[in-house]
Structure 1
Amino acid sequence: MREVQGLLFDLDNTLMDRDQTFRSFSRAFVGEFLSHLSEEQAAQVVEDMIVRDADGYRDKDGFFAELSGVLPWEKALSAAEIREYYDETYIRHGAIMKHAVETLEYCKQRGYPLGLVTNGSRDIQYGKIDLLGLRGYFRTIVISGEVGIWKPAPGIYQLALERLGTPADKTLFIGDHPVNDIEGAARAGMRTIWLKRNHAWDASLKAEPVAAIDELDELQRMI
């Protein structure tokens, strides 16, 4: 891929290990608000929260309302109280994806301009980025909650390309979600690399990534 002039990355479960992050948050949440449970019961609640969270692809207000109604409380929290706790503490649990830093260093040393495109709220996403020490790697960071456009809408990729300063057909997008990252970026004219995580490939999608990888360091052998 010698003709590649720039790279755009997704954040959650691409550069940040969201699985580990949400599990850590859930354990802390259960430990603080459901401390009456046995160790086995607490572990079961953590697993239930992870399932209900659906890898973050749920409306947060609906998710928190559901937790308020179904968790085995001694003293129930409202959805608003759960939201407040989440907003205040979630980013503290951020965990870097394996090989993320070495891969970004590799790309930066070779002179590629790098960008980040992520869905989410401005404060939460920047909080994750700064906790993980990633901000300095990127020429541009485009967050849906800040710009008012959400993946997979074409506009968010087009805005990132304009800020990155590279043409779509010379820019590579790396992400884990088949629709939000691979299909969306492909529709904007980019080639893509699919980092296989929690989402199975949908055979109905028209996009075809140039490669599917299991770990980020595989990218280093491609560019």
Structure 2
Amino acid sequence: MIKAILFDLDGTILDRQSSLIKFIDYQYDKFKNYLNHIEKETFKSKFIELDQNGYVWKDRVYKQLIDVFNIIHISADDLLNDYINNFCNHCLPYSNLKATLDWLVSNGYKLGIITNGKYPFQLNNIKALYIEQYMDVILVSDKENIKKPNPLIFERAAKKLEVDLSECLFVGDSFKNDYEASRLAGMHSIYRLNNENELHNETNQIKNLYELTDIILNQNSKKNMF
């Protein structure tokens, strides 16, 4: 029986692509005096390319942007600090996030987030979505000194929730780090499609977060669905 639902953050409950585009628009306008020799769309496109869906930390991204566009009189550290301090102000949730969490809480499920990334940067992004109060556990890899796909981070979350791994359902948009890793750790797994990740021939996948409600109800009324 499913007793706890855990989520990845970026690309799963946080619409990171839309949030990043919103942030880049803000940052370009803020530092336009240093960037006005570059078309905004060109700057935005290169940023997104170098970012590689968040897998490249922004210290490297900004250093490359400065080199590619010959940006002067402002440093990579200046731009990075602005990103660290202000990205959270541009965070956007996926649709039906609050409705899904409300349903899960009202039906007695424990909730959590396991995310790779920097701390407290990722925690600030969670707070910006106004969902921290829903969560019984939040694990950020930088703080835990362990990251997905290592099974220990899934085991740590289950232990904190006081449930068995087999009683947990993990939802994430990375096929390797989320779907396969949580399943190998002993959890049930759902692959989150977000129009940015790759399609896989898996039956356990969703496009909308609210699809979880029926999946969980079915899982808890039938054995061996997953």
TM-score (normalised: structure 1): 0.89
Kept in 2: contact 1:158–1:188 (CA 8 A): yes
- Whole-angstrom distance in 2 between the partners of 1:66 and 1:119: 23
Kept in 2: contact 1:13–1:19 (CA 8 A): yes
- Whole-angstrom distance in 1 between the partners of 2:57 and 2:180: 21
RMSD: 1.9
Shift in Å, 1:202: 6.4
Kept in 1: contact 2:15–2:91 (CA 8 A): yes
Question: Which residue in 1 is equivalent to 2:57?
Answer: 59
Question: Which residue in 1 is equivalent to 2:193?
Answer: 196
Kept in 2: contact 1:178–1:201 (CA 8 A): no
Q: Equivalent residue of 2:138, what SS?
A: strand
Kept in 2: contact 1:185–1:192 (CA 8 A): yes
The share of aligned pairs that are identical, in percent, is 28
1:1-223 to 2 correspondence within 5 Å?
A: 3-35=1-33, 37=36, 41-71=39-69, 73=71, 75-197=72-194, 198-201=196-199, 211-223=204-216
- Whole-angstrom distance in 2 between the partners of 1:59 and 1:50: 12
Shift in Å, 1:76: 4.6
Which range moves more in the overlay, 79-88 or 98-107? Answer: 79-88
- Whole-angstrom distance in 1 between the partners of 2:146 and 2:73: 35
Q: Equivalent residue of 2:39, what SS?
A: helix
- The structure-2 alpha-carbon separation of the partners of 1:210 and 1:160, relative to structure 1 and needing over 3 Å to count, comes to farther
Shift in Å, 1:64: 2.2
- The structure-2 alpha-carbon separation of the partners of 1:188 and 1:169, relative to structure 1 and needing over 3 Å to count, comes to same
Question: Which residue in 2 is equivalent to 1:206?
Answer: none
Aligned residues: 214
- The structure-2 alpha-carbon separation of the partners of 1:122 and 1:27, relative to structure 1 and needing over 3 Å to count, comes to same
Q: Equivalent residue of 2:120, what SS?
A: helix
Kept in 2: contact 1:176–1:194 (CA 8 A): yes
Could you report, residue by residue, the CA deviation over 1:61-83 in whole angstroms, capped at 9, with x for unpaired residues? 2222112211353x353222221
Q: Equivalent residue of 2:113, what SS?
A: strand
Q: Equivalent residue of 1:216, what SS?
A: coil
- The structure-2 alpha-carbon separation of the partners of 1:137 and 1:72, relative to structure 1 and needing over 3 Å to count, comes to same
What amino acid sits opposite 2:175 in the alignment? P
What amino acid sits opposite 1:55 in the alignment? N
- Whole-angstrom distance in 1 between the partners of 2:154 and 2:148: 8
Shift in Å, 1:210: 5.4
Kept in 2: contact 1:68–1:76 (CA 8 A): no
Q: Equivalent residue of 1:142, what SS?
A: strand
- Whole-angstrom distance in 1 between the partners of 2:200 and 2:98: 29
Q: Tell me, which stretches of 5 or more residues in structure 1 are unaligned?
A: 204-208
What amino acid sits opposite 1:137 in the alignment? Y
TM-score (normalised: structure 2): 0.88
- Whole-angstrom distance in 1 between the partners of 2:70 and 2:206: 40
Could you report, residue by residue, the CA deviation over 1:63-117 in whole angstroms, capped at 9, with x for unpaired residues? 22112211353x3532222211111211111111111111111111110011110
